[in-house]
């Protein structure tokens, strides 16, 4: 190979490396907290200092009987587990339904929505003036109480009306304040959304189980 061809080949290789580096940097930027991993809608990053350590996302051992890919919600602990291979699980802190609004049972994820629209149920519209303002539906966005993502839970093909979703109130994680749904900080629900395909089995344990 003569000098001219060698220089040309070297230039092409260098250009390829630069392009790959730029692509990697772009991907890194996209996956920083505070950005939506798909459509890049920005949202305020969660201040983890306000989240107790036991409710922050972490890998934990798992020795139960459920298959990898199963989602288990322990409402008493205020934890959601995504079962992994190798005897491990990802544990997330969650907020759960308050007394009288709690739900437990088996379900499947049959719908997934990015930045879901929120429509308050009629009983909430009646008791909450703020909800009444959105009786016809609130568009998805950082101020929406469903947060960045929602996974819709179905039983035998029918919508249970319960969701795994994000929140615009991260201080509610670890507490029983919702109308029955399971809420997560936006960073966590985005990751769960990416990991859990349609058809994922969800096990919601009742208090005391």
Q: Which residues are catalytic?
A: 165, 181
Which residue, 160, 145, 41, 54, is CA-closest to 107?
160
Tokens of 92: 């997330």
CB within 8 Å of 117: residues ≥ 6 apart = 137, 138, 139, 140, 144, 146
Q: Which long-range contacts (CB under 8 A, 24 or more apart) does 86-89 make?
A: 87/61, 87/62, 87/63, 88/59, 88/60, 88/61, 88/62, 89/59, 89/60, 89/61, 89/62
Residue showing tokens 């580096």: 21
Q: Where are the alpha helices (DSSP H) in 58-166?
A: 122-127, 129-132
- Measured CA to CA, the distance from residue 65 to residue 60 in angstroms comes to 15
């Amino acid at each position: 190979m003569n000098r001219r061809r060698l220089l040309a080949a070297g230039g092409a290789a260098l250009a390829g490396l630069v392009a790959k580096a730029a692509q990697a940097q772009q991907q890194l930027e996209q996956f920083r907290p505070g950005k939506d991993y798909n459509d890049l809608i920005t949202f305020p990053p969660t201040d983890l200092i306000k989240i107790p350590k036991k409710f922050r996302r972490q890998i934990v051992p798992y020795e139960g009987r459920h298959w990898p890919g199963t989602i288990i919600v322990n409402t008493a602990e205020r934890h959601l587990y995504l079962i992994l291979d190798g005897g491990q699980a990802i544990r997330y802190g969650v907020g759960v339904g308050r007394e009288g609004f709690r739900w437990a049972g088996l379900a499947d994820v049959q719908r997934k929505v990015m930045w879901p629209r929120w429509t308050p149920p009629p009983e909430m519209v009646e008791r909450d003036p703020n909800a009444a303002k959105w009786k016809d539906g609130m568009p998805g966005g950082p101020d929406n109480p469903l947060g960045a993502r929602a996974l819709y839970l179905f039983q035998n093909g029918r919508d249970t009306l319960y969701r795994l979703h994000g929140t615009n109130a991260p201080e509610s994680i670890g507490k029983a304040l919702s109308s029955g749904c399971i809420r997560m900080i936006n960073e966590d629900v985005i990751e769960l959304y990416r990991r859990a395909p349609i058809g994922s089995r969800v096990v919601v344990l009742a208090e005391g189980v």
